Structure formats: C-alpha cells, structure tokens
A and B are shown apart, each in its own frame.
Chain A
C-alpha cells in the first residue's frame, strides 16, 4: 500500500512538472526516474513527493535546481574508445563524400562527447565543412558545454580514451590547463551550436549525416525510445549514420527495419536508402 501511494505521487509530480514547465518526463523509464527523484526529494528535504510537488509548483526557480536530478549528466571524452575508432575508421570515409556535413549530438550534456567528435573530425580533416549540433533539455548543462571547461582530474582518462580511439596526437593539443581546470581550445567551439531541444516534444531541426545519441535512450521507456529514434531517422539523410550507447539497441524498436547495422558491436547503424 505504501508503495502504491508513492507511485501515485510520483505520477502526479511528473504531471505537475509537465503542466507547469512543459518538461515531459512521463515517458522516462520509471525505475531510474524514481531513484533519481528520491534523491532529489532527500536533497530538498521533502518527506514525500507531494511536498516536493508543492515546492516545484510554487517556485519557478525550482526547475533549474531539479533538472540536474532528472537528467543524468555524465560522460567523458572519447568514452568507449572503440566506438570512436569505429567512427574514425568506418564512418568517416563515407562522410568524406559530402561537401558539407552536419552532426547532431542528442543529449549532449556538458559537451564531452560533442567535443570528442569535433576533435575527431579535425584530426580527419573534416572539421571545416562540418557543423556540430549539441542539444539537451538542461540549460545548465548547455551552459557548461558552451564553456568547455573540465576538471583537470578527468583529463588523464580523456587522454587515454583519445589514444585508444586512434587519435594521432596527444589530447593536450586541444586544451590549456590552469587553476586545476582544463579549458578546451576556443576554436573547437567555432563550428558547434548548442541548443535546447527535447526529444520528447520537439521536432527535427536540420538534415544531418551523423546522429550520436549515447546513453540517453536508457532513461526512456519503449514508446519514447521509438519517438526519439523516429526523430533521428527523419533527421538523417539517406544512408546517414546513427550511433547509440553500449547497452542500447535498435533491435526491438519499431524503426529497426529502417536501419542496418554498420559497425557490429559498436552500435553504429546506417539508415537504409530509398
């Protein structure tokens, strides 16, 4: 009985967030969302979700504080190096045939993945003809992404990943370290557009050749996953590429038939032609 009341409260809280702020989390994967909101509840010292809901509804400035709990912002540069190696070795030769390119990093968080792609494209000589879109629903994360400043402690991991992904030079080419932080080279931002965009409610905004959306779908339920994949499908040019996270798969999706596996094992798919 206890559990059931909590679920009702959770549902009502999500409904409240949607009605008040137009952020729709109703179709996010419940189990994970519940854990995260429980942490938020504890953080804001509310005894129940209902009290949290009261707080959220009556304080407009609560949303930016709650969003970090609702979305999981964690990534590192060149995370899963094999994925980036796959892009570098298998996908880039195809991308070379386009006079201009667009890349969409959906759910870019604080930008690590997007900058990884910019670096990869620079190393492959494609950066100048490419535009990188990084989208996320969390304005705070986007701000971080625009800044491109990361804690120095994370850099060794980034460097190792970069090397494993087949990077021809050291990652240190691309940042300046100072005051315990590493600032990415400003020029990496020149071709990047960061924007607020929700996979739940918003539409396709551009035609792209590559979509990279990693460890985002795991927080969605099946319907929402299908919606997001549908967006990617519509955004991609024929024969465009889609990269997913290590535990994500197209196999059981409604759109499975519209893609074919391109780099097996690395979750890189190619949109079918025609």
Chain B
C-alpha cells in the first residue's frame, strides 16, 4: 500500500489538477549534511577502491554509506543507493590495478553486490513498516484528540469551533471554515483565522464551489498549487495567499451533514486526507446530534409557545363566556333596578327633608364659630397693640432719663472747668458713648415695633434721587475716607432719577446698608449703584468688598439681634436691628431687599422698590418665612463643624487619586519622604496600593478615611509619637482590625507589640526585611479565620447553632448574655454576630443600642435570630442595626446559614466599585444638607435603608414614615413643636393606607406647608405619572431605581437655605 493511498472510494480523484505528492508527513526532511556525507563517502571509497589492487576487498566498506542511507527515512533511498554502489563497484573492478585473479575478484564483487542489494531490500522494508506505523499512530492520535473535542452536549457553534481549531492545529492549516447542513443548504457555523469582513460565502448549496462539490460527491480531496485566478473563483477562503486547499465532507450514515475546508501554505499530505476521511463520520455524527439538539430545543420552545397560546385562547374564551353571562344578568338586574328606583325615590325624598333640617343646624353652628373667631381676632389685635404701646411708652420713659445723663456726661467729658484728670475724662466719654449706643438701640426697637404694629406711617411724595444721593454722599464720603475706602454713588444708564416713595424711609434704609458696608469693610470700596428699567422696580445696590456673609446666614442676618458671625457684634458694634428694620421698611415701601455675598469677597445688598408706591403692592410684599428663620436662629453657629477635608500636603505622591477597591491598600505613616518613597515602591511591587501620610494626624485621618488593608508606621513622627497613633488605631472600632507593622529608629519593640502591632523592624532596615514585613501582613490578611459570635441564652440552642455554623475557616464563639457578648467583642475581632433578642441580663434591643452608642466596642454586622414575632415598630428599630432578621421556625436554620455565609463573604473591599465610590464620597459632609431634617416617606425597608445610607453621611437627619398617614402625623408633630421641623420630604408613591399622591394633596391643602419641598419617588416610567406627581403637589420627582447622584443633587436643589 502506498503512502499516498486514501479512502478506497476516492482513490481515483485525489488531487486536482492531478499531481502526485511524493512526500509523506513522516519522511525526514532532506538533510544536506547526511546526503553530502553519503556522497563524499561513496566517492572516497570509489577512489580508494580504484587505486588499490584488485582483490583487496575494500568495497566491503560500501556498507557504511548503505547503512547511513537508512537514516534518510525514505523507502526509495536504500534501493537507489544499492544501484549506485553496484555501478561504483563495477567501475572499481574495471579501474583497479590487477592483483589477484580477476575471475575470483569478479565473483567476490558479484557476491558483495548481492549482499548490498539484500541489505537495501531489508532497509527499504524496515523504513516502510516504520513509516506506516508512525502514520497509523498519527492518525490514531488525531482521531482520539478530535473525539475528545466533540464530546459532550455542545452547541453547534462551539462544536464547530472546537473541531476546526483542533484540525487546523493538528494539520498546520492556516485557516479554515466549517459548514453545517441547514435545510437544503450548508451554513458556515465556524471559522478558523478567517479574514474579517471578507465576502466569504455564509451559505453554499451542494455542488456549488469546492465545498459544495465535496458535499455532493461525499468525499474529501485536496487541491495543490492553486492558480490565483482560479482560487478567487471557487474557494470560499477568499483573500490571502494559501496555495493548497483541502476540502472534506462530514458524514453521518453516508449522508453529508457538514463540510470543512482548510487552507495551507505548505503542501497537503496524503495522510491529512486520510485522517479527514477517517474522522468524517465522527464529526458528521457529532454535528448531526448538535443539529438534533438544536431542533429539539426549537421544538420545545414551539411547544411551550403553543401551550401558552392555547392557555391565552382559553382565557379569552372564559372572558367571552363571562361577558355573555354578565349581559344576561345585567338585563335581569336592570329590571329589578327599575323597581327598586321607585322605592328609592320615595326614600330619598324623606332623606332630603331630613338633610335640610341638618343644614339649618350646621349653619347656626357656623355663624357661632365665626363670631368666636372674630372675637379672638379682636383680642389678638388688642394684645399686639398693647405690646407696641407698651414699647413706645417704655422707650419714651427710658429716653428721658437717658437724655439727661447723656448731656451731663457730655458736659463732664468737655471738662469746662478743667478740673478732671484725663482718666476721668475718658470715663465720662465712655458713659456718653455707651449711652448713645443705648439710645440708638431704643430708637431701633421703637421703629421695629412701630412697623410691626402697623403704626409706621408712610409719607409718599416725588423724590429727586440725585439730591437724595448727594445727601448720602455728603454723609458717607468722610466716613469712608477715614477708613481709606473708595466711596462711590453711581446711576446706571437708563436708571430713573425720580421716584415716588417715602424719602425718609428710603434714606434710613440706604444709610443703614451703607453704614454696615463701611463698618464691615477694611479695605477696597463701598459703592451704591442705582439702576432700573422704565416700568420695573428701581434697584439700589450697596456693594462692598468686606468680610462677606456665609451662605447659610443669608437669611438669619435679617432677623432681629443677628449679625454676621457670632463675634462680629463685639468687633463692629451696632444693635443688630439695622437689617431687620431695613427689611421691614423696604416691605413697607412695597419692595424688598436681596442679598448676594461670599465670605471674604464682599456683599451686595440690593433694595428693590417700585417706581411708584402703591399701597396694594406694599401689602402684598412677601412675608418673611418665619419657620425657616426659626431653624436658622435655633442653630448655634459654633456647633457646625468645618467640612472634613482631604489630607493634602504630603511630600511624596501616593495613590489616593487612583485608588481602586479591588486591590489591597497599604498606608505608610512616615515623615522621611525618601524612606516613604522606598516603602511605596516596595508596596507597589507586591501589588499593594499605597497611601502616604507625613504626620501622625494625617495618618489617623487617612486610616479612617480609606480603611487600608495594612499600616506601616514610623515611631518618630513630627507631631506625635507613632505609639500614640498605634494606640488610637487600635482603639477606633473602624480601624482596629487593620494590622500595623512598626518600622522605627528607636527600640520600642515590646511596647508596640504589646499594643497590638503585627510586627516590629528596627532602622536601618534592609530591603528584604521590608519585603518580609509586607509578606507577613499579606498572610495575616489572607489567612484570617472568620469569626461568628452567637449570642443565645439557651445552652442547647447555642451548641446546635455553633455546630450549624462552625466549619473550616469559620469559628463560632458563643456568648450566653449581653455582658459576655460585650466582653467578647472587646477582646476579639468578630466578622458577624447572631443575636437572640431574649437575654437574661438585657434585651437584645438594649444590647444593640449600647453597641451603637459605645465607641469602645466594634459593631459587627448583626443577624437577629429570634423566636418572637416582631411588631412593625420593633422591626423598624432593629433594621437600623441589622439588615437581616430571622424568625425561628422550621425553615429558619436554612436561612440562617445562608445569611451567615453571605456576611462572611462580603467584606468592604468586595463591594462593587460603585458602592465603594458612594462610601468614599459619602465621607464628605455636605454643608447644604448638614443638620437638615429630611422626612423619608417610604414603606420598603430596602429603599429606606438605601436612602438613609445615602443621606445620613451628608450630615442630614433622616426621619422615616411608612405611609402617607404617618408622614402627616410626623409633620403635624413637628409643627406643633413636638419634634424638630422638617426641611424636605422624599415621598414614595406606592404605599399602604395612604399613598403618596393622596399624602401630597393633603399636605398642600395646609397653608403652612405650601412651601415645604416634596420630591416624589416613583417606579413608574410614564410621563403622565410624573405629571400626576407634580399635579398632586410634588416640587419634583425622581424615577426608581434611584440614581444616587441625581437624588442628592435634587435634594440639594430643593433644600431651603
């Protein structure tokens, strides 16, 4: 059997165009050295043989090249060699000088030649057998390899890929494609290294192109040295320069189920063809079963679809049936109804009479109530008038004695007699100035009370603004000059010069504002700009470059006795009533005052007055929002902590900007920048992210901010000893679990280790030691046993729970009462805690509250495991501490195990990146939300939890109501003073008892809550639903699922300032 033989069925057409491939895959590649040495040896032997006398049997040495030829591993070479040697021996016989009898020599040589031919014959046979064996082995290996790839239930795509990849790699093909039968055509399901986007055919029909030919004739063949133009016509492998193509069908029961095509740059071997023929059946069967499986799935889906359709039809049938029944019933009913109506009519007649009687009584009650109300209103007016009168009288009474003391003090201070010491003169001056201050205050109070009592009269007349302003300039120019300030009064182009208002009041307001501006400005300028359109209001803008006013005080400074900062009064003097009076006066004139200011940059107070005063506009001028002002006033300025700022100013750059949650982080607390840099480099090498702090304070701050996986700590820090850092880290429940490695120049090893350090290195340290230290920290991070604390008073239960939970890597510790629980928590780090609510020494609620309050104890995640049923209030209370609550019962152990497993595997670093970002950002408190009270009306615990965890870190106080009714109750309580007032409401729509829409309508019905900002949370996507929210009274809405960023910005937008 020749090496080129293939499947008997296609022995005839092996290649096309017909060409015989003489090489097989298993012949050695021609080795020139071996060839050369054989040739040289043969020639050398020939020369020696021709030079030696006849009879010297040196020709026997021809055996050597003969044997060497064996190693060319080609069946023909030994025979060719034998021929060559025979020729050479004959020539040698003729050329050798005579020696022994030529006849004898001839016989010798003939015998020798016979022997050589014998050897050649054996060698040829040997090579053939060897080649056949390795061919068989190669084929076998190919079949088994392929068999492995097509095992299992693969879908067509991956099966095709697997087959193709295996064959291409096994046969060294450059690219390939696999086609699978799809109805009548064949579709390409897999490609191997196919050029992308080439117009290669996706489908072929049997008989179309090479692949089609292979399918139709059901046999494999290869094509050698394809001419390019031909190639582009018939091959499905388009571009590139493959020179040889092998096409083979895949058959199942002699019917083609697929075909594959492989292209090569090297010639195709005959054995490749045979391999393909051998595996054709197994590939075919695999493809067929994949096809069958697909078909089965399609049928299954079809059946399901049909079942659903059938069900739908039967449902519809039921509907029509019901409708029919309904109609006949309706007919009957309408008859009955008609009869009923008669009776009802009579009844309603009687009822009407009764109603009219009732209405009469109600009317009487109403009028009674009305007169009661009127009485009360009169009472109120009288009380207020009394107050104002009292104030007016009082100030008059005060002024009289004050006046005389002022005059006397002035006389004294003038020292007419010249008999006072300078000291005494100063005293007298002090009395005078204090008295003057008191007088101003009294005047201000009087003004204010007059306005409030409505007794301030307005004298309206045309005002020439230019003259008025000139007056102001005269007064304030010198004052400004005293403080080296620029002072300007300008009219904007188009600004009116005439105004109809009360000039005195206007003067008073502007004087007040200008005096303030000069008072609070140290350098720069104070300017008054008058502007306004022809028919709009006139604006008087008093601008300064003074200290400015923080945004959160923009409202409160207009309240009586409020000034910028707490200390401002002392520094700048004044009664603190000026702005209040100004605001009231502006309102009296039908206008208002607006403020724009930034701390450190100055302020602009703008008085907006109507060009022509009208009594009606004055009455409509906005009432100051009293409620909000009260919150502002109630809030002590000092209690507002400065917003936490990121620690900056380290000499060495670190990774805080590019920190990702997925990698471990090491915090280096070291003031020596060079050494910190070295540590950082090593950390990076060991794939830690690195944070660097140059001082103890920074280090602590960073540790709390980022909760790193490990800390490297220096002892000699500029601001504080490293030992104190270590101590504080270990005391803080949030950082105590972090392993700390100390590296220091001074030896405090024992103290540090005693305080809980994970290791200690004495400077100077070698690089390897640092690496070692990191590795130590690393193992500590990895090898930690997870601990679960079970708090349960019943010993049997406790034991069984410990059994349930304890496993490799999970240690379950028991605690029988609250005291023991606290002790365990103090002493060890616990990953998760399971708590029974009934304990002998304290209730579970109290224990949880203790843990939450007491910073000394770390507070691990808690699973409540209790035998009692919980009221909604209790559950709400527990939810603040625990996300999972399990009621004991038949199926509870299952759930308990589930929850514990979940907790143990969800450590902070494994939280999704977005959540981490959230936590990260949440650490920055938000000044605009700080101390604001937000009422979250939402019944879904998960959402409440999410909202709380987003809002609380910004500094806002979150109050929860579970439905509309509770929300209203909460608001009423706040209004009655029973609770802090609510600044903003987040309102869910879908709630039990009273839904969000109803609640919002109810809220808007109360005048005092008209301005309360409400943001609706809706799961509905339709525009009409959102419009519904707005119509019900929401200021804005946000769709669920909630986008945290968007929610926060909405809250900021609507939060009253």
The A-contacting residues of B in range 285-340, CB under 8 angstroms, are: 300-301, 304, 307-313, 315-316, 318-319, 322, 325-326, 329, 333
Contact of B1040 among A36, A205, A218 (CB under 8 A): A205
Q: What are 8 pairs between A and B in contact, CB < 8 Å? A: A22-B1022, A74-B318, A99-B878, A100-B870, A131-B939, A151-B329, A204-B1019, A247-B311
Q: How many residues of B contact A (CB 8 A)?
A: 57
Assess the A32–B941 pair: CB atoms within 8 A.
no
The chain A residue with its CB closest to the CB of B865 is: A97
Assess the B311–A246 pair: CB atoms within 8 A.
yes
Assess the A97–B886 pair: CB atoms within 8 A.
yes
Assess the A203–B939 pair: CB atoms within 8 A.
no
Assess the B869–A218 pair: CB atoms within 8 A.
no
The chain B residue with its CB closest to the CB of A191 is: B992
Q: Which residues of A contact B313 (CB under 8 A)?
A: 32, 35
Assess the A72–B316 pair: CB atoms within 8 A.
yes
The A-contacting residues of B in range 472-515, CB under 8 angstroms, are: none
A133 CA / B992 CA spacing, docked (Å): 9
Q: Which residues of A contact B989 (CB under 8 A)?
A: 195
Contact of B889 among A96, A100, A273 (CB under 8 A): A96
Assess the B1024–A22 pair: CB atoms within 8 A.
yes
Q: How many CB-defined contacts (below 8 Å) exist between A and B?
A: 146
Q: Which residues of B contact A151 (CB under 8 A)?
A: 326, 329
Give the distance to chain B from A78, nearest Cβ to Cβ, in Å.
16
Q: Which residues of A contact B635 (CB under 8 A)?
A: none
Q: Do most interface residues of chain B lie in helix, strand or loop, or is the interface mixed?
A: helix
Q: Which residues of B contact A219 (CB under 8 A)?
A: 312
Residue B990 CB within 8 A of the other chain: yes
Assess the A252–B891 pair: CB atoms within 8 A.
no
Q: A131-B939, A195-B995, A239-B898 are in contact. Are A73 and B319 (CB under 8 A)?
A: yes
Q: A99-B875, A207-B942, A252-B301 are in contact. Are A245 and B898 (CB under 8 A)?
A: no
Contact of B333 among A180, A203, A246 (CB under 8 A): A180
Q: Which residues of A contact B869 (CB under 8 A)?
A: 99, 129
Give the distance to chain A from B612, nearest Cβ to Cβ, in Å.
47
A41 CA / B515 CA spacing, docked (Å): 80
Assess the B941–A100 pair: CB atoms within 8 A.
yes
Give a binary string over A189-210; 1 marks a CB under 8 Å from any B CB, 0 the rest.
0011101111001111111000
The B-contacting residues of A in range 209-237, CB under 8 angstroms, are: 215, 217-219
Q: Which residues of A contact B333 (CB under 8 A)?
A: 180
Contact of B895 among A94, A129, A247 (CB under 8 A): A94
Q: A22-B1022, A205-B940, A274-B902 are in contact. Are A195 and B990 (CB under 8 A)?
A: yes
Q: A100-B875, A131-B939 are in contact. Are A72 and B319 (CB under 8 A)?
A: yes
Assess the A252–B304 pair: CB atoms within 8 A.
yes
The B-contacting residues of A in range 127-151, CB under 8 angstroms, are: 129, 131, 133, 151
Q: A93-B889, A203-B1019 are in contact. Are A252 and B895 (CB under 8 A)?
A: no
Given A32-B309, A97-B891, 20 more A-B residue pairs with CB atoms under 8 Å apart are: A22-B1022, A32-B312, A94-B891, A94-B894, A96-B889, A96-B891, A97-B892, A100-B870, A180-B333, A191-B992, A192-B992, A193-B992, A195-B989, A203-B1019, A204-B1040, A206-B943, A206-B990, A215-B311, A247-B311, A251-B304
A185 CA / B396 CA spacing, docked (Å): 74
Assess the B941–A207 pair: CB atoms within 8 A.
yes
Assess the B1040–A29 pair: CB atoms within 8 A.
no
Residue A153 CB within 8 A of the other chain: yes
Give a binary string over B883-900; 1 marks a CB under 8 Å from any A CB, 0 the rest.
001111111101100100
Q: Do most interface residues of chain A lie in helix, strand or loop, or is the interface mixed?
A: loop
The 5 closest A-B pairs by CB, nearest first: A205-B1019, A247-B311, A207-B942, A218-B308, A206-B940
A180 CA / B337 CA spacing, docked (Å): 12
A204 CA / B898 CA spacing, docked (Å): 24
Residue A249 CB within 8 A of the other chain: yes
Give a binary string over B101-141; 1 marks a CB under 8 Å from any A CB, 0 the rest.
00000000000000000000000000000000000000000
A71 CA / B961 CA spacing, docked (Å): 35
Assess the A32–B310 pair: CB atoms within 8 A.
no
Q: Which residues of A contact B995 (CB under 8 A)?
A: 193, 195
Q: Which residues of A contact B326 (CB under 8 A)?
A: 151
The chain A residue with its CB closest to the CB of B898 is: A273
Q: A22-B1024, A93-B889, A98-B887 are in contact. Are A218 and B902 (CB under 8 A)?
A: no
Give the distance to chain A from B332, nearest Cβ to Cβ, in Å.
9
Give a binary string over A163-188; 1 marks a CB under 8 Å from any B CB, 0 the rest.
00000000000000000100000000
Residue A255 CB within 8 A of the other chain: no
The chain B residue with its CB closest to the CB of A94 is: B891
Contact of A196 among B304, B312, B943, B1020 (CB under 8 A): B1020
Residue A238 CB within 8 A of the other chain: yes
Give the distance to chain B from A122, nearest Cβ to Cβ, in Å.
15
A36 CA / B316 CA spacing, docked (Å): 8
Q: Which residues of B contact A205 (CB under 8 A)?
A: 940, 990, 1019, 1040
Assess the A131–B992 pair: CB atoms within 8 A.
yes
Residue A248 CB within 8 A of the other chain: yes
Q: Which residues of A contact B891 (CB under 8 A)?
A: 93-94, 96-97
Q: Which residues of B contact A21 (CB under 8 A)?
A: 1024
Assess the B889–A197 pair: CB atoms within 8 A.
no
Q: A96-B890, A180-B333, A252-B304 are in contact. Are A35 and B316 (CB under 8 A)?
A: yes
Between B301, B885, B902, B1022, the greatest number of chain A beta carbons within 10 A of the residue's beta carbon is seen for: B1022
